[in-house]
Amino acid sequence: MSRGPALNPEQREAVDFREGPLLVLAGAGSGKTRVLTARIARLIEEGVPPFRIMAVTFTNRAAGEMGRRIEELLGAPPTGMWSGTFHSLGARLLRREADHLDRDPHFTIYDEDDALRAVKMAMEESGVDPDRWSPRALRSRISRAKGQLLGPEAVGQEAFDLLARRVAEVYPAYEAILRRCNAFDFDDLLGRPVRLLEEEEDVRGLYADRFLHVLVDEYQDTNHAQYRMVRALASEHSNLCVVGDDDQSIYGWRGADLRNILDFERDFPGAHVVRLERNYRSTEPILRVANAVIARNTARKPKELRTERGAGEPVTAVRTGDERAEAEFAAGEIRRLEDRYTPGDVAVLYRTNAQSRPFEEALRRAAIPYRIVGGVRFYERREIRDVVAYLQLVVNPADEAAFLRAVGWPRRGVGSVTVERLLSARREGETLLDAAARASSLDEVPTAGARALQGFAEVILELNVLQREVTARQVAATCVETFGIREALSGEEDGEDRLANVEELLGAVAEFDPTGLDERPDEAGELELFLERVALLSDIDRWDPEQGSVSLMTLHNAKGLEFPVVFVAGLERGLFPLARAEASADEYEEERRLFYVGVTRARDLLYLTHADRRWRAGSGGQAEPSPFLDEVPEDAVERRRVGGSRRGGSRAAGVRGSPGWRTRDDASAASFTWRAGGGSEPAAIGGPSGGGRPGELRYDFDDTQETLRLDPGERVVHPAFGEGTIQDRSGSGRRTKLTIEFDESGTRKVMAAFADLRPA
């Protein structure tokens, strides 16, 4: 094993340590992935069979990469090693041990959408009013409880507040629904394995005995269930190696418990600790920023990253006029850097997915290729979810979420009333699908609907049988054909795109190769494994770094990645850190860690950008710089004011009477004490029509529009559709709609408040 640069002494120590628990505190960019892969490769070299190793990573992508690197080191892939996320490994264990469970091995994995649907059903069944109690709040509480391994009984005993009492009512009903649907939610993929491992001695024996070595990456982001899973798996051999960095814990909101890493030495007595603080990734100014910022957190183990790369260009902090100018700046900068970096070297990181839009537009205008990670995920698109529902139903006829989705689309004359009747007519213990199959004999169900239901159910049940003999591709193609999905789509808006997505899905099914996903040579259906993969696939798993495109993603998705050039955008109070985090010290520190994660993604160049004004959720507003920007050491950063009167000149010129964000690119750039410029006066209150609820201050249109009367006949420029003439106007205030005849793209209706029109 001699490939790659030599390991430094600490890394070597982490690789070579044997016998007992090992905690590797690995700072950002300190080579922890190298350590993990080298350690596994070494174990295999020493004679540990790969199937006796479990490696848990934060994403399936990371697992795949790890496997490839190990193969490079050893010349052979670590066949048989269990590697993947906690969730996928949990699912694997559950399928193997299905006979210990109240599910059959063809269970469906419910995503958040399905789970929420189940919660709504549970609320109905337990008589909790969805108008009074938010299903999402209940879902979130249930998920939280499951993450702590608290069952319905335990929650019932601690139901102190009103919401908790509703949780105690809904939770058991929710569990019953999952059981009768033969489904597990994400939390079950952790909690149920734990239960098996802790309560069934033969299961524990099997796995704890088998895994001589258990390795866990990103340990700082594990929750209680994951901790218990690890503990159970390592209970026999105690060769548990966890790698993590308390400064990069960013999933507290999802139940991650920092105590797991902070208390490791107490939980696993005799643990050896190795600290990796040499950073091989970033230049010195970037690390200075990172160190200074994270040092403000109180809940952490003190440490400091030291660069092994030396000096570099200062970090650039940029203030722009609005989010559009922010994006224009980034696009311009990427262009300017073209001789040194390719678009594939660049990442734009933001706090919320909604921030991607201006960057997409600016990059498109600048003809720079980009890829978005996340946002509306492929498998969450409506048409994809619908087709997948058919497949789920074919594999698992008990799946009610899938049934309800599939039966409603394409339209077949079965509406909410028919479904409602079916729901109430079905017999105890009978699946919805079976009830549908005999719908004609049910008096309650309307005749037309009954016939449709029956036809639908019969085909599904037929496919359920057929499925065992044909390929997944054939099943999927048959569904699309038989249920008229193409026809339905061709009549829809965006039908072309949606159809293309469905074709892509069919392609993915066809290409799907389940090899190595499971060891069961038996009836582990190909389709079933495909669906499992779909359910557990994360955004970042689908990201292809070799694309030569700028990567746009949330800071959360960027964890574990690195880029030569990084933009951290939207550094404004209320956005990053998010407003709600300001009230709680814990959440505030988590936001700061998230910022730290963003900063430490950068190898060479780092830009920190923010805007003076930002359009948020339909209403605009002044934005203040993020307090995090004040924590950046002056001698590592160069502060710039961009946009001002330069680009978007027409915009700035169109501004009328709004001292708040008059361009002032002079002295203020240096000091960074810009508050809201001229003061607190909002751009325009009330608006031309005085629209808005009474007693409520309301910002109106974008400034430029104040110079437009928006009367029919007026010539305007739309950012996407180009020049056009206003034909008609309806509504008032923020709800003003315009009919515009565009010179090139025909007549369209647009919302004036969102169209960002400019005078022609």
Partner DNA sequence: CATACACTGGTTTTT
Partner DNA sequence: CCAGTGTATG
Return the residue of 37, 557, 704, 736 that touches DNA, per CB under 7 A. 557
Annotated active-site residue 217? The verdict is yes
Q: Which of 10, 111, 185, 218 is catalytic?
A: 218
Question: Do residues 381 and 409 lie in contact, with contact meaning Cβ atoms separated by under 8 Å?
Answer: no
Return the residue of 556, 614, 639, 718 that touches DNA, per CB under 7 A. 556
Q: Is 392 in the site for DNA (CB under 7 A)?
A: no
Question: Do residues 401 and 386 lie in contact, with contact meaning Cβ atoms separated by under 8 Å?
Answer: no
CA proximity to 369, closest of 378, 381, 377, 360: 360
Give per-residue burial for 737-751: e unless 16+ CB within 10 Å, then b.
Answer: bbbbebeeeeebebe
Q: Is 446 in the site for DNA (CB under 7 A)?
A: yes
CA dihedral 726, 727, 730, 733 (to 10 degrees): 10
Q: What is d(CA 146, CA 126) in angstroms, rounded to the nearest whole number?
A: 19
Taking the least distance from each CB to DNA, the nearer of 329 and 350 is 350
Return the residue of 521, 617, 671, 679 that touches DNA, per CB under 7 A. 617
Pairing assessment for the beta strands 619-622 and 602-616 based on DSSP bridges: antiparallel
Q: Is 111 in the site for DNA (CB under 7 A)?
A: yes
Q: Is 134 in the site for DNA (CB under 7 A)?
A: yes
Annotated active-site residue 248? The verdict is yes
Question: Do residues 551 and 368 lie in contact, with contact meaning Cβ atoms separated by under 8 Å?
Answer: no
Taking the least distance from each CB to DNA, the nearer of 354 and 459 is 354
Residues 179-218 that bind DNA (CB under 7 A): 186
Instruction: Please name the helix (run of DSSP H) or strand (run of DSSP E) that holds residue 108, with its range, or none.
Output: strand 108-110
Smallest separation (angstroms) from DNA to the CB of 268? 24
Return the residue of 11, 30, 83, 85 that touches DNA, per CB under 7 A. 85
Taking the least distance from each CB to DNA, the nearer of 59 and 235 is 59
Q: Is 449 in the site for DNA (CB under 7 A)?
A: yes
Residues 58-77 that bind DNA (CB under 7 A): 59
For 666-717, the DSSP string reads STHHHH----STT-S--S-BS-TT--S-TT---B-S-HHHHT----TT-EEE
Length of the chain: 760
Taking the least distance from each CB to DNA, the nearer of 253 and 689 is 253
> What's the start-to-end Cα distance of the chain, in Å?
67
Q: Is 584 in the site for DNA (CB under 7 A)?
A: no
Select the span of 332-340, 406-414, 422-430, 565-573 touching DNA (CB under 7 A).
406-414
Please work out, in degrees rounded to the nearest 5, the angle formed at the alpha carbon of residue 278 by the alpha carbons of 277 and 283.
120
Annotated active-site residue 33? The verdict is yes
Taking the least distance from each CB to DNA, the nearer of 218 and 604 is 218
Annotated active-site residue 32? The verdict is yes
Q: What is d(CA 499, CA 688) in angstroms, rounded to the nearest whole number?
A: 43
Taking the least distance from each CB to DNA, the nearer of 273 and 376 is 376
Taking the least distance from each CB to DNA, the nearer of 312 and 577 is 577
Q: Is 749 in the site for DNA (CB under 7 A)?
A: no
Q: Is 585 in the site for DNA (CB under 7 A)?
A: no
φ, ψ of residue 175 in degrees (nearest 5): -60, -40
Q: Which of 601, 614, 641, 651 is catalytic?
A: 601
Q: Is 601 in the site for DNA (CB under 7 A)?
A: no
Q: Is 105 in the site for DNA (CB under 7 A)?
A: no
Q: Count residues near DNA (CB under 7 A).
A: 43
Its sign, for the CA torsion 660, 665, 668, 671, is: positive
Return the residue of 354, 477, 717, 760 that touches DNA, per CB under 7 A. 354
Question: Do residues 273 and 23 lie in contact, with contact meaning Cβ atoms separated by under 8 Å?
Answer: yes
Q: Is 364 in the site for DNA (CB under 7 A)?
A: no
* Cβ neighbours around 131 below 10 Å, total: 5
Its sign, for the CA torsion 213, 186, 134, 386, is: positive
Q: Is 145 in the site for DNA (CB under 7 A)?
A: no
Question: Do residues 110 and 184 lie in contact, with contact meaning Cβ atoms separated by under 8 Å?
Answer: yes
Question: Do residues 331 and 633 lie in contact, with contact meaning Cβ atoms separated by under 8 Å?
Answer: no
Taking the least distance from each CB to DNA, the nearer of 248 and 418 is 418
Return the residue of 404, 581, 623, 636 that touches DNA, per CB under 7 A. 581
CB-side neighbour CA atoms (13 Å) of 380: 13
CA proximity to 54, closest of 213, 203, 205: 213
Q: What is d(CA 716, CA 718) in angstroms, rounded to the nearest whole number?
A: 7
Q: Is 353 in the site for DNA (CB under 7 A)?
A: yes
Q: Which of 32, 117, 324, 592 is catalytic?
A: 32
Smallest separation (angstroms) from DNA to the CB of 428? 23
Residues 414-433 that bind DNA (CB under 7 A): 414-418, 421
Instruction: Please name the helix (run of DSSP H) or strand (run of DSSP E) that holds residue 522, with its range, or none.
Output: none
Site residues, DNA (CB under 7 A): 59, 85-88, 111-112, 120, 131, 134, 136, 186, 253-254, 351-354, 357, 374, 411, 413-418, 421, 446, 449, 536, 538-540, 554, 556-557, 578, 580-581, 617-618, 754
* Catalytic residue IDs: 32-33, 217-218, 248, 601
